[in-house]
Amino acid sequence: MGLSDQLGFTFQAPARRVWTVQDLVSAVRTQLERQYTDVWVEGEISNFRPAESGHLYFTLKDGGAQLRVVMFRLQARLLRFRPENGMQVMARGRVTVYDARGELQLSAEYMEPKGAGALQVAFEQLKAKLAAEGLFEASRKKPLPALPRRLGIVTSPRGAALHDMLNVLRRRHENLHILIYPAQVQGEAAASEVASGIRYFNRAAAAERVDVVIVARGGGSIEDLAAFNDEGLARTIAASKLPVISAVGHETDFTIGDFVADLRAPTPSAAAELVVRSRHELDERVASLHTRLARAVRYRLLMARQAFTEHARGAAMAGMREALRRRQQRLDEIVYRMAQLEQAQLQHFRRRLDFARARIQHHDLRHKLAAMRREIETRHAALLAAARRALQQRAARADQLRARLEALSPLQVLQRGYALVLDAQGNVVKDAAQVAIGDDIRVRFARGELAARVTSKS
């Protein structure tokens, strides 16, 4: 007899419930998600694996356990930093179970680095990336124009930064043409709007072409300045053909845009002071340049005179002097031959005279001799006159040759008002096609030399 019979009642065993795996896992998941719907978990990232879909998969571990974590694409896009293996983080989300493997996991909705804000980590990561690409190198920085005619400002039209810059610009140079591109400087759309302003000034028509661009914003927290740490904006600044000044925040604030820009100003007002010098400074600069120019002109004239003297002693003048000497030698030879001819004629007449005198020693021919003497004197005078005329003609010819040589001298051409144009390599410019607009050239005159730049061609 059983125990139930002895006690007077019937004992019935409870019905056994059998779960399917899917039902049990689903029930456990439901209980977990109800109880752990919003938890913070701290640990070290390992096995980090970003999927092509944009989801992030990794494991959080500490000294005693590990937990799988998934962060879906919508939440991952909002991260301000790039997760990496070995990084200590705090993740917030709900605990759930992945049915396919029956594994406990955390579905994370937010994550931040432990000990440093996400924005600061993102800042350091982007800074290291762009520095490795060479975007911070001083060699790629563009110089600012000494006196810009047009200034482009990308900033909020309602901000105090714009008001401060305009006050400085009006005080220092009231004739400066200022173009303002209105843009948000805080919030999700700020980075794209500021980048659009920089691109606008780079492709603007000639009437709106500016010489330099200022990107400006007042001070704020790292969250307020987050737009200026955007990678896309940084690359837009780096690609700008115009010089870009970053004037974001206060003197102690630094953004990625500061490192990429051609010049970083500590404040917007300082940027205005850097880009435009005061009229007093310009006057002093012009006076200083005038003094230096006058001194340089005097020095160049002195050097030109010395160069001219040395050149006169050089090969070109030596060649001219040699040609003159050869012609002078030829002239001397002609004069010598004429003198010899004259002497020979005189000797010939003397011999004839002596012969005639010998023949008439015994005859009184004084009248004939006197006539002959007169004839001889006449011929002698004619011969001398002919010799003098020949010498004068030879001398005149020599003078003509000397004048033609001097007229052919390049220095004489310059003395008549012409000039010699040389390019930057010292070559003679004979055709306008040899130079381009913007090329430096040198213009040499009979006295002095000028440096110039090609601004137009026709």
The per-residue pLDDT for range 298-307, each reduced to its tens digit, is: 888 888 888 7
Strand partners for 42: 90
State pLDDT tens for residues 10-55.
556 667 888 888 888 888 888 888 888 889 998 888 889 888 888 9
Measure Cα distances from 328 to 324, 331, 336, 386 in Å.
6, 5, 12, 21
Pick the more confident residue, 411 or 454: 454
Distance CA 306, CA 289 (A): 25
At 132 the pLDDT is 84
Order of strands across the sheet that contains 263-264: 177-182, 150-155, 212-217, 244-248, 263-264
Q: What is the mean pLDDT of residues 246-265?
A: 82
Q: What is the mean pLDDT of residues 401-424?
A: 80
At 57 the pLDDT is 92
Distance CA 166, CA 144 (A): 19
At 315 the pLDDT is 58
Amino acid (one-letter) located at 27: A
Pick the more confident residue, 397 or 14: 397
Q: Shortest CA distance to 414 belongs to which of 298, 295, 311?
A: 311
Residue 312: which pLDDT band, with cuts at 50, 70 and 90? low
Among the residue ranges 162-166, 224-228, 246-250, the one predicted with the least confidence is 224-228
Q: 189-225: b or e for each residue (b if 16 or more CB lie within 10 Å)?
A: ebbbbbbebbebbbebeeeeebbbbbbbbbbeebebb
Q: Which residue in the block uniquely carries the two structure tokens 């704020």?
A: 220
State pLDDT tens for residues 135-191.
778 888 888 887 788 889 998 888 888 888 888 888 877 778 888 899 888 888 888
Among the residue ranges 196-205, 212-221, 261-270, 400-409, the one predicted with the least confidence is 400-409
Q: What is the mean pLDDT of residues 233-246?
A: 89
Q: Which residue in the block uniquely carries the two structure tokens 């020979």?
A: 344
At 58 the pLDDT is 92
Which pair of tokens denotes residue 164?
């401060």
Q: Which helix (H) or strand (E) holds 196?
A: helix 190-203
Q: Which residue in the block uniquely carries the two structure tokens 């004084």?
A: 366
| CB-CB contact of 197 with 169 (8 Å) | no
Q: Assign 29 to helix, strand or coil.
A: helix
- The answer for 412, left when phi > 0, alpha when psi is -120 to 50, beta otherwise, is alpha
Reply yes or no on whether the pLDDT at 206 is more than 80: no
Q: What is the mean pLDDT of residues 256-268?
A: 85
Calculate Rg over the CA atoms of the chain.
51
pTM above 0.85, yes or no: no
At 178 the pLDDT is 86
What percent of the chain is modeled with pLDDT above 90? 8
Strand partners for 57: 49, 70
Reply yes or no on whether the pLDDT at 398 is more than 80: yes
At 408 the pLDDT is 73
State pLDDT tens for residues 437-450.
888 899 888 788 89
Q: What is the mean pLDDT of residues 197-222?
A: 82
Q: 386-416: b or e for each residue (b if 16 or more CB lie within 10 Å)?
A: ebeeeeeebeeebeebeeebeeeeeeeeeee
State pLDDT tens for residues 68-127.
999 998 888 888 778 888 788 889 999 998 888 888 999 999 888 876 556 677 777 777
Distance CA 406, CA 317 (A): 10
Q: What is the mean pLDDT of residues 60-75?
A: 89
| CB-CB contact of 445 with 297 (8 Å) | no
State pLDDT tens for residues 316-374.
666 666 666 677 777 777 877 888 888 888 888 788 887 777 776 656 667 677 888 88
At 298 the pLDDT is 85
| CB-CB contact of 161 with 155 (8 Å) | yes
